[in-house]
Amino acid sequence: MLVLLVAAPARCRADDAAAEIRAALAQWTEDFNARRADKVCDLFAKEARADVAGAPERDYAAISDVLTRSLNDKTRHYHYAMDIKEILVFGEVAVVRLVWTLTIKDADGSTAKSVEPGMDIFQKQPDGSWQIIRYMSYER
């Protein structure tokens, strides 16, 4: 019985953290799809690093630049759909395994789609929010 009393609060905290992260990712998706370039970089910590297949490693400035340039490009419309496979919480760090599906519509009406499995590593910030500190994404 003692084990349950000790483990239950930890499980509740992990469940709460997972819900907060899920909500943050949902908000990011909404902001991205609504072209809120002023909001999409908020999910990333200043020390973030990204490993995207076919591109050099990106720091926060490069991540932010790619996102804002894409959203400010009036010749294309970008739309992300998210499929979270799992969220694993380890205290102040969490790992999210997910698949992003990006649809790009050009001004001429042509459409391209990419499926991008990835992994995001979140860290709880001093203000209580969760931000991405590392992520990997690879197009299928």
Amino acid at residue number 122: F
pTM > 0.85: yes
Q: Which residues on adjacent β-strands are paired with residue 83?
A: 99
* Residue 13: band (very low, low, confident or very high) from pLDDT cuts 50, 70, 90: confident
What's the token pair of residue 138? Answer: 């690879």
Cα–Cα distance for residue pair 98/136, rounded to 1 Å: 10
Amino acid at residue number 130: W
State the SS3 of 16-62: HHHHHHHHHHHHHHHHHHCCCCCCHHHHEEEEEEEEECCCCCEEHHH
- Estimate to the nearest angstrom the gap between the alpha carbon of 132 and the chain centroid: 7
Nearest to 67 by CA among 132, 121, 22, 129: 132
2 has a pLDDT exceeding 90: no
Cα–Cα distance for residue pair 114/139, rounded to 1 Å: 6
Cα–Cα distance for residue pair 85/48, rounded to 1 Å: 22
Looking at residue 140, its pLDDT comes to 83
Domains and CATH numbers, the chain: 2-137 (3.10.450.50)
| pLDDT tens by residue, 33-75 | 999 999 999 999 999 999 999 899 999 999 999 999 999 999 9
